[in-house]
Amino acid sequence: MPDPFMTQRLDILSVLRMAFEGAPNAIFVAEEDGTILFANEAAAVTFHYAADELIGQPISRLFYPLAVAAADRTSGPSSQLTEALEALTSHTVDGMRSDGVIVPLEVRVKRTADGARPLLIISTADVSERVNLEARLAAATNAHLGFQRLVTDIASQFVKIEPDKLDATINDSLRQIGEALQLDRAMLWCKPHGETTASATHVWRTPHAPEVPPTFSVAAAPWIMARLIAGEPAWFAKPDDVPDPIERETVRERGVLSKIVVPLPPIDNEQGTIRSLSFSSFTSERDWPPAVVERLRLVATVIGQALARKIGQAALEKAIDEVRQLRDRLTTENVELRREVKGLRTSRPIVADSAAIQVVLAQVQQVAPTPATVLLLGETGTGKEVMAQAIHDLSPRHLRPMVRVSCAAIPTALIESELFGREKGAYTGALSRQIGRFEAASQSTLFLDEIGELPLEVQVKLLRVLQDRTIERLGSTQSIKVNVRIIAATNRNLEEAVQNKTFREDLFYRLNVFPITVPPLRERPEDIPALVWSFVDEFSSLFGKNIESVSKDSLRELQRYAWPGNVRELRNVIERAVIVSNGRVLTVLPPKIGERNVPQTAMTLHALEIDHIRAVLDATGWRIRGAGGAGERLGLKPTTLESRMARLGITRKKPV
């Protein structure tokens, strides 16, 4: 008599076979102890078995974790196998094919709940494609982050590089980028204005890349040159991507499979000179993701800035040497010569008796004719706005007024609309359309004072303006092209602000095209007499005073004062002196150092010596000789102290 349970079991197995035979996923039906009773065609294909070969095999031999567990135990209840299979559900599991290849699988397990002994239904899906894709994405992400860190490190090297180390640093940077991107050649080349050939100034290459000739023609690359002239990079992932047929054929003849060329910003006064970075692959085609293109543009920018500083420094040293030779030749005409060298004729004349300020003015004259962005650095009150006006007055944009913006004076909520403008109804209270400072400064110069105080959210939009020269009014989606020359100024240490995450690194590099540091007044005391007379002329005319001379003692006192407020403080002191003056000789009393919290580090050694000797003299009632006298206190002979006082110009003030 047939076993009723077996009959029912065979019926259930037949139903399952009919249901799963054509299923796309691999499906097994097994005993509770793991013995395979049925495997569909997809299972046979997945595990590289014939379907009948799987019948009777233990299910554990197909899954690596179960095979290891089975090898570690000789026997055990079937419930352990069921629990182990259920533990693998919804996880990626290593499956073992008949040829020993490991296949990543997703497993699901169900039991039949009939009166007969339960059966296990095991469904698996091959997820090899998904796992491989995840691995490729992870590798690409890691590579992108690594390249981003590399570019940041390279950019930081060029911020304060010495001119004699520039060439070696450029070559090493090309090597690092070439190796990171797995390229065959990287170079920096230059095409002078009016020439039809270019030459490589810095080259790195692998043995797979051909040598670069001393000069090469650019006529065969019209598409690339047109992009570079427009200030945009050009690249192709494969030769077929080159739009110009002649250029495409040239690329194939030279064996270049993939390439990107990134222009450097203009770095001298020669219009039409083109300098570019070029990266090429001769062994494989490759894509150029936008993130990589932007990072290479950043590298081109910082290298261009470093080259500009090197060229500017060389020109400046040459000019100073010529001035020195001219002074030596024309000693008899020293006064006239000094007037020519010290003065810069702009709408606001700048005093330049000192060598420190002459260096600054030489930089101003050098950068003014160009459209380059200028970053003015220096303590408060040093005259950064005066320098900005001088740059504007000497530029081709001088026919239009310079527009000034104090980034610290505008409330944070309004600064975006002030800079970029607004549309009617952009926010509550915006009753009419208003153009921003960028539009107002079109074809002129925009001076952004205290740029270091700009909020981070506005820094992002300013970066876009510097990159694309387009703005969007608040409340509008329409882009407006602007032609504005940017001059920024700050008394903050922007490099420190970048490290503290209060100022964007990419905006700093965009602004730092041509940095000019205006020295504090204490570092150029030679300028103080001329500055005093400049302010005396201004205020005597304003207040109706007739001042013919300034006390020499006053000038000496002014020159030895530290001036923590710089030129602005000096101007205020002269204004007060002119107001209280009643005669033709102006006597100026500088602020007392004891009343001002002036750090000693802000004073020169000369000023410290004078202060110390004067303090000892005041303490001794100006008695030099004898016990307890100033000579004894200072450890000097009286005659030595008297000669030093004469040399330093220390005299006892007469009572008023």
Please provide the DSSP assignment of 375-395 as one string: EEE--TTS-HHHHHHHHHHTS
Distance of CA 362 to the CA centre of its chain: 26
Helices marked H in 162-204: 166-180
pTM: 0.45
What per-residue confidence (pLDDT) applies to 384?
A: 92
Place of tokens 């020439």: 195
Supply the DSSP string of 298-334, one letter for each residue.
HHHHHHHHHHHHHHHHHHHHHHHHHHHHHHHHTGGGH
List alpha helices for 512-620, DSSP H. 528-543, 552-560, 566-580, 605-619
What SS3 class is residue 259? strand
Identify the structural domains of the chain with CATH numbers, from first to last.
4-126 (3.30.450.20), 146-310 (3.30.450.40), 330-519 (3.40.50.300), 522-648 (1.10.8.60)
Mean pLDDT for the stretch of residues 145-166: 81
- Reply yes or no on whether the pLDDT at 114 is more than 70: no
Instruction: For residue range 419-435, list pLDDT tens digits in order.
Output: 888 888 777 776 778 88
Work out the average pLDDT over 479-492.
92
CA angle 197, 200, 205 (to 5 degrees): 135
Cβ(260)–Cβ(287) below 8 Å: no
| CA 444 from centre of chain | 25
Per-residue model confidence (pLDDT) at position 411: 84
The position carrying tokens 């610290």 is 408
145 sits in the region (left: phi over 0; alpha: psi -120 to 50; else beta) called alpha
Give the mean pLDDT of the chain.
82
CB-based contacts of 474, cutoff 8 Å, min separation 6: 416, 417, 420, 421, 422, 423, 426, 427, 430
Instruction: Report, as an integer, the average pLDDT of 16-34.
Output: 84
pLDDT tens digit sequence for 198-246: 999 999 999 999 998 888 888 889 999 999 988 899 999 999 999 999 8
Q: Which helix (H) or strand (E) holds 280?
A: strand 274-281
Higher per-residue confidence, 564 vs 651: 564
Q: What pLDDT score was predicted for residue 75?
A: 44
Q: Is residue 285 very low, low, confident or very high in pLDDT (cuts 50, 70, 90)? A: very high
- Strands of 374-377's sheet, edge to edge? 403-406, 445-449, 485-490, 374-377, 514-517
Rg (alpha carbons) of the chain, rounded to whole number:
40
For residues 139 and 144, what is the distance between their CA atoms, to the nearest angstrom? 9
Highest mean pLDDT among 191-195, 198-202, 325-329: 198-202
Instruction: Please answer whether residues 178 and 188 qualify as being in contact, where contact means their C-beta atoms are separated by less than 8 angstroms.
Output: no
Distance CA 359, CA 350 (A): 13
Residue 339's pLDDT band (boundaries 50, 70, 90)? Answer: very low
Distance CA 243, CA 232 (A): 16
The region, left, alpha or beta by phi > 0 then psi within -120 to 50, assigned to residue 429 is left
| DSSP codes of every residue in 73-105 | -S---HHHHHHHHHHTBTSEEEEE-TTS-EEEE
The region of weakest confidence among 197-211, 263-277, 520-534, 549-563 is 263-277
